[in-house]
Structure 1
């Protein structure tokens, strides 16, 4: 098509086999769209296109990604607010006829029937086709700093936020090779978290604040524009690894002052009876070995 369609917070540039979505950097643009910058969506990644009436005199053109095509869409699992949906383009109602034209052109490009209101998606999963933000990535949750270098996810617990169960378990490193999935719950809810699912296991059902394979976040911590791209990148790496597993990275050497703080905290847990003598000695030796 070779055209550009501009709307609220974004513009769509139509190519021969894809749509390039560029998000505006205006003050009213949601921070998730700021963080994404732009995304190229291959037609092969789409199951359809929808046009619906929007709010306050607008119409909304929306692309429908196929399951598996976009890790970010998959891990969000329908939890994003409408304004943060990267597949929506909001236009003034006066441009409804133009929106109908592009909807029909897209449906034709996707190989579907222009008059089909349900689009083309048959629900069948496909291989990932939409790029996720590049690593390294990191964000601060309420109880930890989470980082991902493409090979492993690391959770380093915060003194003020982590539960005693997480302090007792110690900082965690999860090689992509050992993971089977990612569970993300929006921080806009009451109990946002990011939980890593071991390969061959179902997602844990216990509280995320007690699970060493999860970090918790809420208002002011682990916001959508930080935690969702992070979760999407981890999910993409898990899918890309497939049966050929990547080796675990060597453990990083620790800051001595950080180790000293953690030993002091372990000492407090020991004095309070949360850690036994043997557990305290083992955890202290483990931390000292990382220097």
Structure 2
């Protein structure tokens, strides 16, 4: 297509096989979108596109991702607020006709598999190394393994006794991410066994009864902790702000074991509104999911060697030249800075 559609805090740049979604930096842009920066979404990763009325004289153009095509959306499991949705483009109502035109253009290029789940991830996520601070520890991912380093001010006695943890990607089957901002999480912890957030196993979202629960409030008494959540007289028994989210690693060795409370599980970190924010923990969870899928063995006939993964196809030089020309137009129009133009041009030339 080669066109650009600019909305509030978001710009969609259409290509022949994908749409590049760029998020502006600014106080009105949610931090998750600022962290993502930009995302290239292949049309084969979409199942459809919607155009609906928005609030206060706006319309919303939303691309609908195929299940299993985007690890970020798989990890989120439907918990993201509308403002955090990276597939939404909000436009002034007077641009509805133009938005409808582009919606039809996207529908026209969707393939025959648009209505079925993707067999592999098609959208890339932030690459390792990644890390974030949770309430009870720091989570780090170097591309090969995830490490949890516990904080004495927040980790439970069970985690402190277990010691710092390190899990290789090969040991994992998926992740379970729960947003501290999801409904029911603010102010009070959900009851044990409540269906708040579910595991994402095997690299795709699954419907499973959530057996996790957030850490219950505990108050330190004489240097000891109630419910095993705080020690050394800190008196801290729950994440800041009352919200209870968590990131749990699903291990092959524990597949048959019931999931316990995340504040007691050495394979999970707990966070709230002030610790392990969505823009830090969700890209982390998505990167781990993608790594798990990439590391999974490729099925092959019994006795035959595992086939090598296919190399990414090289881009057509003519397509690269057209993309650079279009970037130049955006640069001239002031939509790209000098540094952004130079960086994107270098990326395109590297694909030749």
Structure 1 equivalent of residue 102 of structure 2: 102
Q: Does 1:229 align with 2:222?
A: no
Secondary structure of residue in 1 paired with 2:40: strand
CA contact (8 A) 1:183 1:203 kept: no
Distance in structure 1 (CA, Å) of the matches to 2:88 and 2:44: 18
Q: Does 1:188 align with 2:181?
A: yes
Structure 2 equivalent of residue 84 of structure 1: 84
Secondary structure of residue in 1 paired with 2:122: coil
Secondary structure of residue in 1 paired with 2:276: coil
TM-score by length of 1: 0.79
Distance in structure 2 (CA, Å) of the matches to 1:121 and 1:216: 36
Secondary structure of residue in 2 paired with 1:125: coil
**Root mean square deviation of aligned Cα:** 1.5
Note the C-alpha offset of 1:124.
2.4
Note the C-alpha offset of 1:67.
1.3
TM-score by length of 2: 0.65
Change (3 A) 1:47 1:203: farther
Distance in structure 1 (CA, Å) of the matches to 2:150 and 2:110: 47
Residues 51-200 of structure 1: pairs in structure 2 closer than 5 A? 51-111=51-111, 121-189=114-182, 190=185, 191-199=244-252
Distance in structure 2 (CA, Å) of the matches to 1:184 and 1:157: 18
Q: Which is helix-richer, 1 or 2?
A: 1
CA contact (8 A) 2:69 2:117 kept: no
- Runs of 4+ off more than 6 Å: none
Secondary structure of residue in 2 paired with 1:208: coil
Distance in structure 2 (CA, Å) of the matches to 1:62 and 1:14: 14
Distance in structure 2 (CA, Å) of the matches to 1:106 and 1:202: 43
CA contact (8 A) 2:45 2:118 kept: no
CA contact (8 A) 2:44 2:114 kept: no
Note the C-alpha offset of 1:167.
0.6
Distance in structure 2 (CA, Å) of the matches to 1:4 and 1:126: 30
Cα-to-partner distance string for 1:255-286 (whole Å, 9 max, x where unaligned): xxxxxxxxxxxxxxxxxxxxxxxxxxxxxxxx
Secondary structure of residue in 1 paired with 2:135: coil
Note the C-alpha offset of 1:215.
0.2
Structure 2 equivalent of residue 283 of structure 1: none
Distance in structure 2 (CA, Å) of the matches to 1:16 and 1:55: 31
Residues 258-269 of structure 1: pairs in structure 2 closer than 5 A? none
CA contact (8 A) 1:197 1:204 kept: no
Note the C-alpha offset of 1:202.
6.2
